[in-house]
Amino acid sequence: MIRELGPLEARLRHECCARVVEAANNAFGPTFTGAILKGSALKGDFYPLFSDIDIHLLVDEEVLSAARVPRPHYALRLQEALAGIDPAAYQANSLQIYCLGNRSPDDDWVRPFPGAYEVISGELPRGFDQVAPADYERKAPIDLGNSLAFLERFPSTVADKPDASLPSMARRMGIELKVMPFLIATVA
């Protein structure tokens, strides 16, 4: 039976987002300034128990030790705050949470186009909604190269794994394959 894909049910989406925002407030305190939801849970190609829920947390720059990497004590506090959230309760495979500096997103991350995300907490930094297609054109060849390298390595990573780990590995391959048409179209 083929399931129809769609956005995550609104009630589940809002409940999950509220819990993640609460966790971020507990972990980061006043350095947490906002959050966005993006990806399949919002835009309509959510596949229950396979898709993840993508949330980007905006934090003050001093929280980060590197691009999208909270300092260890903040990372541990966030992990502790998120520990009670079961993604399966929201029909998700996992929660994919990134921490972004609220003043200057790093060069390795491209802002989503307006309409491709929903503000779920706080306010976005000035200029967040100003996205240039050239940013996607610059990043696409890099991401395509990374995806192709992953797919080339994939068979050797599966060969020595127990059967129990195959579903997560197949999911990872699906993530890489899902974005490839977009990357190829952007590069072409």
| pLDDT averaged over 10-residue windows placed end to end, the chain, 188 residues | 63 94 97 93 83 92 89 95 94 90 72 89 87 83 83 75 68 70 71
pLDDT value for 73: 95
pLDDT value for 4: 55
In this structure, are residues 8 and 41 in contact, taking their beta carbons and an 8 Å threshold?
yes
- Beta bridge pairs of residue 169: none
pLDDT value for 136: 81
- DSSP label of 136: H
Distance CA 143, CA 108 (A): 10
pLDDT value for 165: 64
pLDDT over 90 for what percent of the chain? 37
pLDDT value for 2: 43
pLDDT value for 87: 93
- Helices (H) and strands (E) counted in the chain, each on its own, are 5, 6
Other Cβ atoms less than 10 A from the Cβ of 144: the count is 17
pLDDT value for 90: 93
Tens digits of per-residue pLDDT, 114-150? 888 999 999 888 888 888 888 888 888 888 888 888 8
Greatest Cα pair distance in the chain: 49
Domains of the chain as residue ranges with CATH: 10-122 (3.30.460.10), 133-187 (no CATH)
Distance CA 38, CA 172 (A): 18
Distance CA 31, CA 68 (A): 14
pLDDT value for 152: 84
- SS3 of residue 52 by DSSP: strand
* AA letter at 20: V
In the numeric block, which tokens belong to residue 159?
Answer: 């060969």
